[in-house]
Structure 1
Amino acid sequence: MRNILMASDLSSRSDRAFDRAAQLSQQFKSGLHVLHVLDSDLPAKTQDELLDNAEKTLQAQAGRTRKTATSKKVEDKKAGAKKTSKNGSGVVVAAGTPAQTILEQAKKLKSDLIVTGAHKKDSLRDLFIKSTAEKLLRFSEKPVLIVKNATKEEYKTIVVGMDFSSHALKALYMALTLFPKAKVHVVHAYSLPFSGLVKDRDLEDFTLDQRKEGMEKILGALGRKLKDKKAKAFARMDIVMHNAHSSAALHDEVRKTRADLVVVGTHGKSELLTGIVGSVARDMIHNAKTDVLVVK
């Protein structure tokens, strides 16, 4: 984790996201760039005024967390962005549409993680996308962290959704390696075929055995990825299987464990083509009571 990009709309929700981004930057010893996107349709004079105000606000945020976030003076305001070191820390103010500009800056700055607050839903003309955060999840090649709660300490209790896919495996691997001190609860949800019509103990046992076999395969693949870190990582894991819908199972585990982070994997290629975000990821970012990390 060499570089983190935090997207701020200068609201109280962004204050929380900034605090978490700063904490993670310190934890990972990584660079931190803070981005605010101005409406490109505003008059040039208004953009200039807002640009200066945004820079002052972001610098004040940086001062409150005692995390240095320096920026150079505007060399060309018409270019719409403040220039910063790609490998250091800084403040960026750019004009454009929020999601597109965030993704462009993430690529330019070679960011490994995008951090943002829990944004309000967009207008009716954007009904099928609903939020800047959801747009980021659709198109970002990097993990996106949606911050909802105040930062008190490092993440200590994490819930990871597991559907046996390569994306879920990547999400679990990231949770274990990025947060080596956290307890990780791996949740797999399943449903019994014909459960509403048939009450068969043998059918239930057979289904559960199949799911356990799937989990064993995933854990085998995970162990090979972790290599010499396997023993310590596995000691921090708790495997939970729920006969429930995936979203309901995750919400239930978050409530039981008082988790401070949920990690879910999404199927990037199919969602990019269909223009949607996975239903579980969408439910988590909009309805989970805790921070959400989405991994592709």
Structure 2
Amino acid sequence: MERILVATDFSERSDRAIRRATLLAKTTGASLTLIHVVDDDQPQRILQAEQQASEAVLAEQTLSLRKIDELACTFRIVLGDPFEGIATAVREDNADLLIIGPHRRRALRDVFVGTTAERTIRASNRPVLMANGVPAAPYRNVLVAVDLSECSATAVRALQQLGLETSAAVSVIHVFDAPAAGLMVQASSTKDQIKAYLADEEERASGELATFLEECDLMPTRRIMKYSESSTAHTICAAAQEISADLIAVGTRGRTGIAKALLGSVAEEVLRISDRDVLAVPPGRD
């Protein structure tokens, strides 16, 4: 990892993103660029005043990161729509990683227009790290959620390319589906019959996961198999809590169809509910 871009709106949430970026830059040797987007849909006088004020704050933050943290750091102000402005800056700077702060959880607004984090991630074609947790130390325990799709393989490769697995224990979770389980319950199958069926499905899924990991050249310290009884995202987040993971990595789009192991809708729900950092990886660069 060579270049990290951090989006800031000068809030406490953004301060969390900058702190996480600082820790990653120290670990990987990457350079930092702070980016702030100024909405250009306002009177020129106000626009210029906001630009000047933003430049003063960014210059102070950049100087602090250079002198105190001894990092290579610059800043950039972009005029335009916040989401498209950030995405454009990521592409133009050829950033390896975009870091943003946690979104504001506003239930009704989130339902209708999506969270700021989700809209930013949809506009970006590079991995996006949402810094939810308090960034006190480098990552020690990473949980990668996979559905065995090419999108999940891309997420694994991104984790490796960013160097996020070098100093952390990496666990993998695969939430598998057992489509006949519900029908067996309706057909009054015995508990032993259902248990045996789930065991067979888990064994099958475990074999598929082993093949997937071998193809990805990943040897996790732990493999977690979970049957998808309800929300896949909640299952992933619960597993992250159980193993004390401080980072969850997911692909932003995945398998479609009957299985419903969608690392697309799943990724969005993880972003909404996780109290851990989330690395959202898109399918690939344009």
Calculate the TM-score normalised by the size of structure 2. 0.83
CA distance in 1, matches of 2:16, 2:77: 19
Residue 53 (structure 1) aligned with residue 37 (structure 2) = no
Q: 1:238 aligns with which of 222, 228, 232?
A: 222
Map 1:270-281; keep pairs closer than 5 Å.
278-281=264-267
Partner residue in 1 for 2:216: 222
**1:43 and 1:36, CA in 2 relative to 1: closer, same or farther beyond 3 A?**
same
**Whole-Å Cα distance in 1 between the matches of residues 141 and 48 of structure 2?**
43
Q: Contact (CA 8 Å) 1:134, 1:277: kept in 2 or not? A: no
Deviations 1:114-171 (A, max 9, x none): 1111122689788544223212222311001111122111111111101111111222
3-state SS of 1:154 partner: coil
Hey, what does 2:121 align to over in structure 1?
Answer: 137
* Counterpart for residue 259 of structure 2: none
1:121–1:248 Cα change, 3 Å: closer
Give the equivalent residue in structure 2 for 1:160: 144
Matched, 1:119 2:99: no
Query: Percent identical across equivalent pairs?
Result: 27
Once the 2 structures are TM-superposed, how far is the Cα of residue 260 of structure 1 from its aligned partner?
0.9
1:18 aligns with 18
Tell me which of 193, 199, 208 is aligned to 1:205: 199
CA distance in 2, matches of 1:93, 1:30: 20
Deviations 1:53-102 (A, max 9, x none): 21222233334543468xxxxxxxxxxxxxxxxxx631111221100000
Give the match for residue 95 of structure 1: 79
Matched, 1:41 2:41: yes
> d(CA) in 1 for partners of 2:26 and 2:277?
18
CA deviation after TM superposition for structure 1 residue 268, in Å: 7.7
Q: 1:255 to 1:268 in 2, by over 3 A?
A: closer
8 Å contact 2:252–2:268 — kept in the other structure? no
Provide Cα deviations, 1:221-279, integer angstroms capped at 9, x if missing partner. Answer: 012xxxxxxxxx62x52100012342122111111112111100122899xxxxx9822
Q: State the alpha-carbon separation in 2 of the partners of residues 123 and 207 from structure 1.
A: 36
Q: Which residue of 1 aligns with 2:244?
A: 258
Query: CA separation in 2, counterparts of 1:89 and 1:62?
Result: 6
Q: Gaps (5+ residues) in structure 1?
A: 70-87, 224-232, 271-275
- How many aligned residue pairs are there? 263
CA distance in 1 between partners of 2:87 and 2:46 (Å): 24
CA distance in 2, matches of 1:265, 1:8: 24
Name the TM-score, length of structure 1 as normaliser: 0.80
Judge conservation of contact 1:98–1:132 (CA < 8 Å) in 2.
Answer: no
Secondary structure of 1:137 counterpart: helix
1:35 CA drift (Å)? 0.6
Distance 1:124 1:94, change over 3 A: farther
Aligned partner of 1:207: which letter?
E
**Contact conserved, 1:3 with 1:31, CA < 8 A, in 2?**
yes
Find the residue that maps to 1:267 and give its secondary structure: coil
**Within 2, Cα distance between the matches of 1:204 and 1:147?**
36
CA, structure 1 residues 172+134, in 2 after alignment: closer, same or farther (shift >3 Å)?
A: same
Structure 2 CA distance for aligned equivalents of residues 137 and 277 of structure 1: 14
Q: 1:68 to 1:41 in 2, by over 3 A?
A: farther
Output the CA distance in 2 between the equivalents of 1:158 and 1:125: 30
1-structure distance, mates of 2:83, 2:154: 24
Name the CA shift for 1:123/1:258 in 2 (closer, same or farther; >3 Å): closer
Does the 8 A contact of 1:34 with 1:58 survive in 2?
Answer: yes
Q: Is the 8 A contact 1:159 1:261 kept in 2?
A: yes
Deviation at 1:37, TM superposition (A): 0.8
Query: In structure 2, what is the Cα distance between the partners aligned to 1:27 and 1:44?
Result: 42
Secondary structure at the residue paired with 1:100? helix
How many Å separate the matches in 1 of 2:222 and 2:20?
Answer: 25
Separation in 1, partners of 2:255, 2:128: 16
- Contact map agreement 1:261 1:291 (CA 8 A) in 2: yes
Match of 1:283 in 2: 269
